[in-house]
């Protein structure tokens, strides 16, 4: 579209330069806004992933504690009276 406007001499070279700069600034603002929109999603995904890892770690610890408890009970039974 810019090429068409340039070829048609619709704008003076000064106004064409300002138009190009305005379009570039707008594109940068849109990219910045898009990145800002993506950050909360990434943060939420990271928090969800960390929560899953925490839950897995808690289950692993609980399972390990139960195994130790069972091993202790077996030892107590084997020692017997």
Taking the whole predicted model, whether its pTM rises above 0.75 is answered as no
Beta-carbon-side half-sphere exposure of residue 74 (alpha carbons within 13 Å) = 6
Per-position DSSP letters for the chain, written without gaps between them? -HHHHHHTT-S-HHHHHHHHHHHHHHHHHHHHHHHHHHHHHHHHHHHHHHHHHHHHHHHHHHHHHHHHHHHHHHHHHHH--
What pLDDT digit, counting tens, does each position of 42-68 carry? 777 888 888 999 999 999 999 999 999
Domain that holds residue 7: 2-79
Q: What is the mean pLDDT of residues 26-37?
A: 86
Beta-carbon-side half-sphere exposure of residue 37 (alpha carbons within 13 Å) = 6
Please tell me the total count of domains within the chain.
1
Structure tokens that stand for 33 in this block: 């806004």
* Percent of the chain whose predicted confidence (pLDDT) is above 70: 81
What pLDDT digit, counting tens, does each position of 1-19 carry? 556 656 666 667 777 788 8
């Amino acid at each position: 579209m810019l090429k068409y406007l340039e070829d048609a001499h619709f704008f003076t070279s000064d106004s064409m330069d300002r138009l190009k700069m305005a379009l570039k600034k707008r594109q940068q603002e849109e990219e910045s806004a898009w990145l800002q929109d993506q950050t909360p999603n990434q943060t939420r995904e990271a928090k969800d992933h960390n929560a899953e890892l925490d839950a897995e770690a808690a289950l692993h610890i609980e399972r390990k504690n139960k195994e130790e408890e069972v091993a202790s009970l077996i030892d107590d039974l084997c020692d017997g009276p």
